[in-house]
Amino acid sequence: MARAAKAKAVPPVSTQASATQTSHALLRWTELAQRAYSANTLRAWRFDWAEFMGFCARVRSPALPATPDLVRAFIHDRIAAGKKPATIRRYMATIARAHRSAKLSDPTDSEEVRLGIKAMGRTLPARQRQARGLTWEEIARYLTVRPELLRDHRDRALVATAYDTMCRREELVNLRIEDIDVQADGSGTILIRRSKTDPRGEGAVAYLSALTMTLLKSWLSNSGLHSGPLFYAIGAKQTLREPLRPAAVGATLKRIGLWLRLPPDQVAAISGHSTRVGAAQDLLALNIDLAAVMQSGRWKDTRMPMRYGEMALARRSGMARAAKAQGRT
């Protein structure tokens, strides 16, 4: 009897082999993913997986393989922690990817988890907080400031470039000087080598207005840059440091919001995507067709540009036109 009890305490060889195979599969996928996905995507997956691992440690359950009941409990835990529906759905995508990569059954593809997600949608607001857009009227006011420091030249060129190209912050900091093409009328174009919606790196060409080209020439002349990354961090003595990082884009736009004397809550809502949001709002307010807006912002579907421009679209909706025709304006 004692011998049998001792034998029970030793994990079966098949279980040990299965755990080893899972570990090897996951490590192999991680190595391949380093070359296939952007650093930001990989960073988000690591964060999501760390959140799930932390929960599993608290409830003393294995993360791989996870059961549907465990994932459902994780959903409830994250709801209680105040996480947004979009964030929780991202967690589910990460958990699913980890299991598929380890060649394990996906626990999120179960009725228990699907019902948990559906229940979340009924109890939590699905609407996400939108970045506060910076429109051209506001940017033009900021550009009336006379540049005195090297940082002023950079910030002016950066905000105008961000608006014209509708770049996401990661795209903006990866722009390169040699990819600028000057046109005969003083305007220009710039190649966006890679973007969130272009994982293969096929690239896209964005327009630069004559005003933006002037601001860029001033920045490059004062900085002494001739090739390489377009935007750099500025040191305490107004000297160039390392190439600008994505987080610095949001900080720069918030500083512009402060100069504009926007209310504190609006400054807090400014992010690295605020010029992208503001440009979409301006284009739709100018009655530019949605296809052209999508092309300018490199969107693959209408959801985000319509979300950004919902106020402008509401003002020219069927009911808005009816109110004008009926004299109710």
pLDDT mean values, one per 10 residues, the chain (329 residues): 40 44 62 67 85 91 90 89 86 90 89 86 62 92 93 96 94 95 95 76 88 97 95 90 93 94 90 92 88 88 80 74 80
Q: Do 275 and 139 touch, CB atoms closer than 8 A?
A: yes
pLDDT value of residue 35: 61
Scanning 10-84, the segments in alpha helix (DSSP H) are 13-36, 39-59, 68-80
> What letter does residue 180 receive in the DSSP assignment?
E
**What is residue 35's three-state secondary structure?**
helix
**Residues sharing a CB contact under 8 Å with residue 231, sequence separation 6 or more, in sequence order:** 154, 157, 158, 172, 173, 175, 243, 244
Instruction: Return the bridge partners of 108, or none.
Output: none
pLDDT of residue 314: 75
Q: How far apart are CA 147 and CA 151, in angstroms?
A: 8
Q: Show the tokens assigned to 76.
A: 């409830």
Supply the pLDDT for residue 167: 94
Q: pLDDT at position 56, please?
A: 92
What is the per-residue pLDDT for 78? Answer: 87
Chain centroid, CA 286 distance in Å: 26
Write out the E strands in the chain.
Answer: 180-182, 188-192, 204-208, 232-234, 240-243
C-beta separation of 270 from 257 below 8 A: yes
Residue 125 is predicted with a pLDDT of 56
- With 0-12 / 13-18 / 19 or more C-beta atoms within 10 angstroms meaning exposed / middle / buried, residue 234 is buried
Provide the pLDDT for residue 123. Answer: 66
What's the pLDDT at 131? 80
| 194 phi and psi angles, rounded to 5 deg | -150, 145
Q: How many residues are there in the chain?
A: 329
Task: List the beta bridge partners of residue 188.
Answer: 182, 208
Alpha-carbon span 289 to 313, nearest angstrom: 11
CB 277 within 8 A of CB 131: yes
pTM for the full model? 0.66
What distance in Å separates the CA atoms of residue 157 and residue 83, rounded to the nearest whole number? 36
* pLDDT at residue 309, rounded to an integer: 76
What does the alpha-carbon distance between residue 164 and residue 275 come to, in Å, rounded to a whole number? 9
